[in-house]
Structure 1
Amino acid sequence: MKGAVLFDLDGVLVDSRHAQLATLAGFATSALGHRVTITDLPSEAATTPREQVLAELGYAGVISQDGWDAATATASLTADVFPFVADTLAALRAADVGTGLVTLRSRQRVGWLLPPAVLDLIDVVVCYEDAVPKPAPDGLLLALDKLGVAPTSAVFVGDMESDMHAAQAAGATPIGAGWGFSSPTALTRAGASVVLPQTAHLADALLSLISLE
């Protein structure tokens, strides 16, 4: 295996911004007992911890796992895999480059967002329950260990500042997903070596970055 490309899930492989906001609004509606819409959410709700968002809406209780799962499962129906994802993963596999997913989602929720055809193209999946969450490097290091690839031969594509910090801590190259939740400026400030645009030629760009390592 010539190297590895690790990916975050939300905002990178899956266009889930609306789904995340809908989850927050749906849970808040149930928990608060009155209608909460996406437009009622704080402006940075998509990149703010859910506890903080809910507190700003007036909910300070414990987040019920069953209630959150119900809201998530329904909202996930609005999420779509980005159109370039399957071709990118297939091209990386054809080039003998390992692929991994490192996400804060649980394994159950990954299956709600990614169809089997896409999951089959990912060599290693590391979820919330498998390792200390990002920005800790544990999940990335676990994925690379399973792939048998050194961090110096890997890149991590993410769209959050915590993704960039996790990559740096793991010794992998942090790559910003310019189509994701955070702005290119925020990703660069957080340490991204480069911020890539959404493109059908993403695999070529990633392969060129690995070859530079």
Structure 2
Amino acid sequence: MRHIALFDMDGTLIDSGLDITLSINHVRASYYNLDPLSVQAVIDAINAPERNLSEIFYGQSHYEARAKELFETHYFDQCIQNVTPYQGIRELLSALYDKNVIMGVATNAPSIFAKRMLKHLELDSFFQLIIGADDVDLPKPHPQMLHRHLDHYHYNFGTDYALMIGDNSKDMEAAQKAGITSVFAGWGFSSKGDGDYFASSPQSLFDIITTKKGTV
């Protein structure tokens, strides 16, 4: 039996909240003369199940092209300034790698940022595949991103065991739609959520990945 672990990135593997907030506030000040938002306000908005982020972040009913362009330009440099892996993540990935667990990243962040941050943190080598929102037509909660991973690994629903680990309801919904196990990561951007399993720490996640439905 092969075990396949798909990870969300922001709020699950890495704490990127400060850098995201700094880039959003740069756009707010540059184009909209708005006061800065706190990191917690930005994280709460990102994790809200139903929200209009352009309204919350910039006071606009929809994203303006200039705001999107400025954010991406600023964030390309900003995204590696303060980002850190959550405590225990590096050890978790190393232990899973040693157990021959197949690992991938399924993030709604653009892939250029995901790959840049994970490479900067020297985490990218743990993953066979990193898929961002720009690599698919429909981001999470649609399961397309997860199906891309499972197809790449030639996943067998009868003999393999696959999990999606994330800190957002979109991750849990995508896993359900893809027909794989969902695990809510309670250490990141959100401490409460519903999944097939709840992991309070990366250490507890190791047991969920490696012991359910047999051993690796």
TM-score over 0.5 for the alignment? yes
Which residue of structure 2 lines up, in the alignment, with residue 68 of structure 1? 71
Distance in 2 of aligned mates of 1:40 and 1:160: 15
Deviations 1:77-119 (A, max 9, x none): 1211223222222222222221010011112111332125310
Would the aligned equivalents of 2:16 and 2:84 in 1 still touch at CA under 8 Å? yes
Supply the AA of the counterpart residue of 1:19: D
| SS of equivalent residue, structure 1 residue 211 | coil
2:91 is equivalent to residue 83 of structure 1: no
Q: Percent identity?
A: 22
Which residue of structure 2 lines up, in the alignment, with residue 6 of structure 1? 6
Q: Cα distance 1:148–1:23, how it changes in 2: closer, same or farther (>3 A)?
A: same
| SS of equivalent residue, structure 1 residue 114 | helix
| SS of equivalent residue, structure 1 residue 6 | strand
Count of residues in correspondence between the two structures = 206
Which residue of structure 1 lines up, in the alignment, with residue 139 of structure 2? 133
* Cα shift at 1:153: 1.4
Scaled by the length of structure 1, the TM-score of the pair is 0.84
* Cα shift at 1:43: 8.1
Supply the AA of the counterpart residue of 2:18: H
| SS of equivalent residue, structure 1 residue 104 | coil
Would the aligned equivalents of 2:21 and 2:39 in 1 still touch at CA under 8 Å? no
- Equivalent in 151, 172, 178 of residue 180 of structure 2: 172
| SS of equivalent residue, structure 2 residue 12 | coil
1:1-213 counterparts in 2 under 5 A? 2-38=2-38, 44-48=44-48, 49-55=52-58, 57=59, 62-64=64-66, 65-76=68-79, 77-115=81-119, 117-131=122-136, 132-150=138-156, 153-184=161-192, 187-188=193-194, 192-200=195-203, 202-209=205-212, 211=214
Structure 1: tracts of 5 or more residues without a match: none
Deviations 1:25-45 (A, max 9, x none): 222111213543427957833
More divergent stretch after superposition (64-73 vs 131-140): 64-73
More divergent stretch after superposition (129-138 vs 87-96): 87-96
| SS of equivalent residue, structure 2 residue 182 | strand
Scaled by the length of structure 2, the TM-score of the pair is 0.83
Distance in 1 of aligned mates of 2:106 and 2:3: 16
Distance in 1 of aligned mates of 2:113 and 2:187: 22
Would the aligned equivalents of 1:3 and 1:210 in 2 still touch at CA under 8 Å? no
Structure 2: tracts of 5 or more residues without a match: none
Supply the AA of the counterpart residue of 1:130: D
Q: Cα distance 1:129–1:39, how it changes in 2: closer, same or farther (>3 A)?
A: closer
* Cα shift at 1:12: 0.4
Higher RCO (Cα < 8 Å, 6 or more apart): 2
Would the aligned equivalents of 1:22 and 1:38 in 2 still touch at CA under 8 Å? no
Distance in 1 of aligned mates of 2:42 and 2:7: 27
Deviations 1:97-153 (A, max 9, x none): 210100111121113321253101111111112222000001001111111223561
